[in-house]
Structure 1
Amino acid sequence: MPRPRSPQLSVDAIIRAALSLVDATGDFSFPKVAKELGVSQASLYNHIDNREHIIELMRGLVFSEFSARRHLDPASLPWDEALRTLAHEYRDCLVDHPRLVPLLVTQTVQDLGVMRIYEDMAIVLGKAGLDLSVIVPAITTVDYLVLGSALELTAPDVVWSPPPGEFPALTAAISGLGSPAERSDAAFAFGLATIVAGIREVTKISF
C-alpha cells in the first residue's frame, strides 16, 4: 500500500506562502503560513528561525530576479544613466509586492543580493563626484523615492478630497490625477529627475 502523501515543506515554500499572505493582506503570521501550507506550525521551525528571518528571506526572494537578470557594471555607464538604471531596477522588484515595503524597512538589510544594489549605488554616487560624507544621505534619498513610489500603489484611488470651493490650488492640481499606478509612475519619474539634477548641483559645491 502506498504511503499517504504529505505536504512538501521547504524554506522556499514557506517564504512564498508568507509573501502571498503579505501581498493579500499586508502581513503574515506563523499560524497563517502553516494553514496555507497544510502543515503544523511547529514544523515551520525546522526550516525558519523567527519572523525576522522570514522577512529577510522574503526580501531576498523579491530581489533574486533582479540579481539574476542584471548585468549592469556601474563603471561602464555615465553616473546619471547608471543611477537611473539602478533606481528603475530596484523599483521594478517592489512594484508587484508593495505591501511588503513596511515590513522591509523595519529591519537590517542582510541579503547579499540586495546589498549589491547599495554597493553599486555607492560606486555610482562616488563616480558622480559626491563627497563620501553625503553618499549615505544620497542613497537614503533614492530609497525614499523607490519605497515611497511602491507604497503609492497601495493608496486609495482618491487620496485628497477637499471640500468644494476650498483649497483651490490643490483641487486644480489633483484634477485628472489618474490611478495609483499612474501617480506612482509620474512621481517616481519626477523624483528621480530631481535627484539627478540635485546631485549635479551639489557636486558643484566644494565640500
Structure 2
Amino acid sequence: MARPRKPLLSRDRIVGAAGALVDSEGLEAVSTRRLAAELGVSGPSLYNHFRTKDEILEAVADAVSAKVDLSMFEEGDPRDWREALHDWALSYRAALTAHPHIVPVLARGPGRRPAGLKVADAVFGAMTRAGWPPAQATHIGALMRYFITGSALGSFARGFVDDRTAYDPADYPHLQQAHLLADHQEKVDEGAFGTGLRALLDGLGCQYEAGGYRKA
C-alpha cells in the first residue's frame, strides 16, 4: 500500500485540535485519548510529537502568543514607548479574550515557549531602547503581563447576576443597577481595561519624566 502523501499527524494538527477543544470545553477536556479520537489516530501516535498533555497545552498557549502584534516594538517604528505599550496591550488582550480558557497556562509565564519568549524579548528591548534602566524595563514587562492576563482571567460584569432581587437596597444601597451589568459585559469590561491601561501608562510616564530617562 502506498504511503499517504501527507502524514496523518503533525504538531500543527495536534495543536489545532487541542486548541479547538480548549476553546469549546476548557482545559479539562484535553486528554491524549480525546485528542486521538478527534484526530482519528491511535493515542500512542501523539507521543511521536509531544511527550505529555502539558506539552500540548504549552504549545496551544504559544500559538495564542504568536497572534499578538509586536510590530510596534520593532526598531524604526515611529511609536514612542507609551504608544507601543498601549497598542501591544490591546493586541495582547484581544488574543487572550478570544481564547480565555488557555489564559491560566499563559499566566504561568513564557517558560520555554518560543512565541512567548519573543513577546518578552520585544517588550524588554523596546523599553531599554527608550531609556528605561534594565531593572525597570523588567518590572514594566511583568506589570503589563499581570495587568493584561489578569483582565482576561474573568469578567467583572459577569460576576453579577441578572436578578434585581439579589441586590436588596437594605443590604446593598449602591448596587441597584448591578443586575444590568451582565447585559453590558463587553462595554463594561473594555471600559475598565481602557481606564486601567491609561492610568498605568500615565503613572509610568510620570516615573519616566521623574527619572530623567531618555531614549538612547
Does the CA-based 8 Å contact 2:68-2:88 persist in structure 1? no
Q: Using the TM superposition, give the Cα deviation of residue 107 of structure 1 relative to its aligned residue in structure 2, in angstroms.
A: 5.8
Q: Which residue of 2 aligns with 1:102?
A: 104
Q: Using the TM superposition, give the Cα deviation of residue 191 of structure 1 relative to its aligned residue in structure 2, in angstroms.
A: 1.4
The separation in 1 between residues aligned to 2:102 and 2:68, in whole angstroms, is 16
1:122 corresponds to 2:112: no
Percent of pairs with identical residues: 28
Alpha-carbon deviations, 1:32-71, whole Å to 9, x = none? 111211222111111112123212211232233446xx53
What one-letter code is carried by the residue in structure 2 that aligns with 1:8?
A: L
Q: Using the TM superposition, give the Cα deviation of residue 139 of structure 1 relative to its aligned residue in structure 2, in angstroms.
A: 1.5
* Corresponding residue SS for 1:118: helix
Does the CA-based 8 Å contact 1:52-1:107 persist in structure 2? no
Greater displacement, 84-93 / 173-182? 173-182
Q: Using the TM superposition, give the Cα deviation of residue 99 of structure 1 relative to its aligned residue in structure 2, in angstroms.
A: 0.6
Q: 2:84 aligns with which of 82, 85, 92?
A: 82
Structure scoring higher RCO (CA < 8 A, sep ≥ 6) equals 1
Q: Using the TM superposition, give the Cα deviation of residue 104 of structure 1 relative to its aligned residue in structure 2, in angstroms.
A: 2.3
Q: Which residue of 2 aligns with 1:40?
A: 42
Which stretches in structure 1 are left out of the alignment for 5+ residues?
none
The separation in 1 between residues aligned to 2:75 and 2:13, in whole angstroms, is 34
Greater displacement, 178-187 / 48-57? 178-187
Counting only pairs closer than 5 Å after superposition, residues 164-203 of structure 1 correspond to structure 2 as 164-165=168-169, 166-169=171-174, 171=175, 174=178, 176-177=180-181, 178-203=183-208
Q: 2:167 aligns with which of 138, 163, 166?
A: 163
The separation in 2 between residues aligned to 1:107 and 1:125, in whole angstroms, is 19
Q: Using the TM superposition, give the Cα deviation of residue 148 of structure 1 relative to its aligned residue in structure 2, in angstroms.
A: 2.1
Q: CA RMSD in A?
A: 3.1
The separation in 1 between residues aligned to 2:89 and 2:157, in whole angstroms, is 25
Does the CA-based 8 Å contact 1:56-1:111 persist in structure 2? yes
The separation in 2 between residues aligned to 1:187 and 1:47, in whole angstroms, is 41
What one-letter code is carried by the residue in structure 1 that aligns with 2:99?
A: H
* Corresponding residue SS for 1:113: helix
Label 1:156 to 1:197 Cα distance change in 2 as closer, same or farther (>3 A).
closer
Alpha-carbon deviations, 1:89-115, whole Å to 9, x = none? 222222210110012223643232322
The separation in 1 between residues aligned to 2:81 and 2:193, in whole angstroms, is 18
Q: Using the TM superposition, give the Cα deviation of residue 82 of structure 1 relative to its aligned residue in structure 2, in angstroms.
A: 1.0
1:112 corresponds to 2:127: no
Does the CA-based 8 Å contact 1:17-1:33 persist in structure 2? yes
Does the CA-based 8 Å contact 2:157-2:189 persist in structure 1? no
Count matched residues.
202
